[in-house]
Amino acid sequence: MQHIIDQTINFVKITLVNAETGHDWFHIERVYKTAQTINATEKGDELIVALAALLHDIADSKFNNGDEEIGPQKAGEFLKSIGLENEIIHHVQEIIRNLSYKASLGEISFKSKELDIVQDADRLDAIGAIGIARAFTYGGYKNRVLYDPEVKPNLNMSKEEYKNTTAPTLNHFYEKLLLLKDLMKTSAGKAMAEQRHQFMLTYLEQFYAEWEGKL
Ligand code: ADP
Ligand code: NI
């Protein structure tokens, strides 16, 4: 099994050399490690969890004209090339297909314990200390201000608005990051999310105090 995982790690590293910082190899590595931590309690299939975590962002539809099938297709071709059985390949493809936050807003077409584990691990990387860093990195890339007390968070954005919003980065906490805790599926994921959530609340409290020139 380790040999299959090592080959997959190599493939993912090579494929993501030019990936943007939100979805680079280090994001994959964190999701992979977090998925293993969750799986230690949840006891899903280790190979499926590992392969799905490693391949989940192999092609981002945002940079492929919104084509949601490119990721599963690329992953499938690779897994076939190293000789894996169809059953494993299909399961990994289904997980990748169903993983994105976007997919989770629509109807759920596929369910598995391994999907829950990898999805929780991916969502955990958007919250806590790393999640805060990723949000401000993304905001900087989009030329957004850190915070503007005049611009209130919008909880009813359409997918299109969500993608093109010019709102301050701090709004993203209320529009997405603080909502992720309640979307966790596994109990191990929930416990980790609870801790990271509390950390974000502490961070926000400090942020507002400093904004007012206090503390
Ligand atoms: P995911 O990898 O979970 O599908 P995205 O591709 O939507 O997430 O975003 C990658 C990273 O950028 C995440 O950490 C996310 O929180 C952050 N991000 C996405 N949209 C925004 C935004 N409008 N403002 C700040 N950060 C954002
Ligand atoms: Ni991801």
Considering the domain architecture, whether residues 8 and 95 belong to the same structural domain is answered as yes
Considering the domain architecture, whether residues 131 and 95 belong to the same structural domain is answered as no
Beta carbons of 154 and 161 less than 8 angstroms apart: yes
- As a whole number of angstroms, the distance between CA 27 and CA 123 comes to 11
Beta carbons of 51 and 88 less than 8 angstroms apart: yes
Tens of pLDDT, residues 108-158: 578 999 999 999 999 999 999 999 999 999 999 999 999 999 999 988 887
Evaluate whether residue 114 is within a structural domain. Answer: no
Element (H, E) at 31: helix 25-42
Q: Report CA 37 to chain centroid distance, whole Å.
A: 16
pLDDT score recorded for residue 123: 97
Evaluate whether residue 116 is within a structural domain. Answer: no
Ligand 1 center from residue 80 Cα (angstroms): 31
pLDDT score recorded for residue 59: 85
Beta carbons of 115 and 94 less than 8 angstroms apart: yes
For the complex shown, is ipTM > 0.90? yes
Q: How far is CA 34 from CA 7, 82, 136, in A?
A: 20, 25, 22
Considering the domain architecture, whether residues 142 and 200 belong to the same structural domain is answered as yes
Output the six-digit token pair for 148: 């503007």
Evaluate whether residue 164 is within a structural domain. Answer: yes
Considering the domain architecture, whether residues 98 and 50 belong to the same structural domain is answered as yes
The DSSP letter of residue 62 is: G
Question: What range defines the domain where residue 156 resides?
Answer: 126-215
Considering the domain architecture, whether residues 143 and 98 belong to the same structural domain is answered as no
Evaluate whether residue 205 is within a structural domain. Answer: yes
Ligand 1 center from residue 22 Cα (angstroms): 7
pLDDT score recorded for residue 163: 75
Tens of pLDDT, residues 96-108: 999 865 665 666 5
Considering the domain architecture, whether residues 8 and 101 belong to the same structural domain is answered as yes
What pTM was computed for the model?
0.93
Evaluate whether residue 38 is within a structural domain. Answer: yes
Considering the domain architecture, whether residues 103 and 1 belong to the same structural domain is answered as yes
Q: Name the CA radius of gyration of the chain, rounded.
A: 18
Evaluate whether residue 62 is within a structural domain. Answer: yes
Q: Number of structural domains, the chain?
A: 2
Residue % of the chain over a pLDDT of 70: 92
User: Residue 56: nearest ligand to its CA?
Assistant: 2
Considering the domain architecture, whether residues 103 and 131 belong to the same structural domain is answered as no
Evaluate whether residue 115 is within a structural domain. Answer: no
Catalogue the long-range contacts made by 81-87 (C-beta closer than 8 Å, 24 or more residues apart).
82/4, 82/7, 82/8, 84/4
Considering the domain architecture, whether residues 60 and 143 belong to the same structural domain is answered as no
Evaluate whether residue 5 is within a structural domain. Answer: yes
Beta carbons of 155 and 175 less than 8 angstroms apart: yes
The DSSP letter of residue 189 is: H
> Which mutation among 147, 166, 172, 177 tests ligand 1's pocket best, with the greatest number of atoms within 8 A of CB?
172
User: Residue 35: nearest ligand to its CA?
Assistant: 2
Hey, is 129 helix, strand or coil?
helix
Question: Could you list the pLDDT tens digit for every one of the 215 residues in the chain?
Answer: 999 999 999 999 999 998 877 789 999 999 999 999 999 999 999 999 999 999 999 986 566 666 678 899 999 999 999 999 999 999 999 999 998 656 656 665 789 999 999 999 999 999 999 999 999 999 999 999 999 999 999 888 877 787 778 899 999 999 999 999 999 999 999 999 999 999 999 999 999 999 999 98
Considering the domain architecture, whether residues 5 and 94 belong to the same structural domain is answered as yes
Tell me the CATH number at 37: 1.10.472.50
- Packing angle between helix 25-42 and helix 2-15, nearest 10 degrees? 150
Beta carbons of 76 and 89 less than 8 angstroms apart: yes
